[in-house]
Chain A
Amino acid sequence: MSLSGAVLPWVTALAVAMVVGGLIWGFFFTPNDFRQGATVKIIYIHVPAAIMGSGTWFMMLAASLVWVIRRHHVSALAAKAAAPVGMVFTLIGLFTGAVWGQPMWGTWWEWDPRLTAFLILFLFYLGYMALWAAVENPDTAADLTAVLCLVGTVFAVISRYAILFWNQGLHQGASLSMDAEENVADVFAYPLWICIIGFGLLFICLVLLRTRTEIRARRLSALIAQEQMA
């Protein structure tokens, strides 16, 4: 708790600076795309949010596996704390994708493999949070949600790699990759990278904050139970 308390203000300041800086750069100081027009500016929120939406699930998977193997309580609480953050990032990805898709694809929604997997991932987030809330015993809840997390990972993988698995659907390939030929132009890529790092830092900051809250809540309920037994 003392380490996370010391790190949290610095991560928060850096996250705010990078998200605000990246979005201002992208929104005000980049040109419109010759095909997409001004809708290209949605990339600075859609891509980082989508990356964090599926990335959060992988973090939850790692934390759940640590819980299952080592029974480390903080890892279970970290997975629980991350779920609402990932859910909001996934919702932002879905919303901004729909807003971009309407003028570019002529439709708000398409049952494309990547979009469908992302929607199912969003529903898994809701189910995961509901399961934590529904089970009273925290260890049982951690066990059950760890299993759900393992199952949901299938959709987190598909939402990210559907383009590679099935060569169909409306959604284009990765905007940024290690292969330079596929990348977006540098003028869009630089602010996009800043936004991606900023969203990543924002995720770390929110998960730290929420995990600290979960630890305190667990301590409080343990103390209340102790008092009731005395």
Chain B
Amino acid sequence: MTAFILPDLGPYAVEVLSAYAGTLALLLILVAGSVLQGRRTRLRLKEFEARRNSKRQKSAENL
């Protein structure tokens, strides 16, 4: 098995790794936030529409 080899970053390892780590963290927050917000909104709309449809059905039956 080939061992995982980190490239030689010399005296700039902290700068390079922190730039990558910071970027990945910001992108993850953005993507996760967008996905979660999208899911939440989709579910709320679905629930609202289902509730409204059942209300309409009930009032149609009462007529």
Interface positions of A (Cβ within 8 A of B): 23, 27-28, 32, 37-39, 41-42, 45-46, 49, 84-85, 88, 91-92, 95-96, 99-100, 102-103, 202, 206, 209-210, 212-213, 216-217, 219-220, 223-224, 227
Closest Cβ–Cβ distance, residue B15 to chain A (whole Å): 5
Inter-chain contacts of B18 with A (CB < 8 A): 99
Instruction: State the main secondary structure of chain A at its contact with B.
Output: helix
Known: A88-B30, A216-B41, A220-B44. A37 touches B12 (CB 8 A): yes
Which residues of B sit under 8 angstroms from A84, Cβ to Cβ?
30, 33-34
Minimum C-beta distance from B7 to chain A (A):
6
On chain B, the residues within 8 Å of A206 by CB distance are 30-31, 34
Residues of B within 8 A of A99 (CB): 15, 18-19, 22
Q: Enumerate chain A residues within 8 angstroms of B41, measured Cβ to Cβ.
A: 213, 216-217, 220
Q: Give chain B residues whose Cβ lies under 8 Å from the Cβ of A210.
A: 34, 37-38
Contact at A38–B12, with CB atoms within 8 Å?
yes
- Contact sample, A vs B, 22 pairs, CB 8 Å cutoff: A28-B7, A32-B9, A37-B9, A38-B7, A38-B9, A39-B16, A42-B15, A95-B26, A96-B19, A99-B15, A99-B18, A102-B15, A103-B12, A206-B31, A209-B38, A212-B38, A216-B38, A216-B45, A217-B45, A220-B41, A220-B45, A220-B48
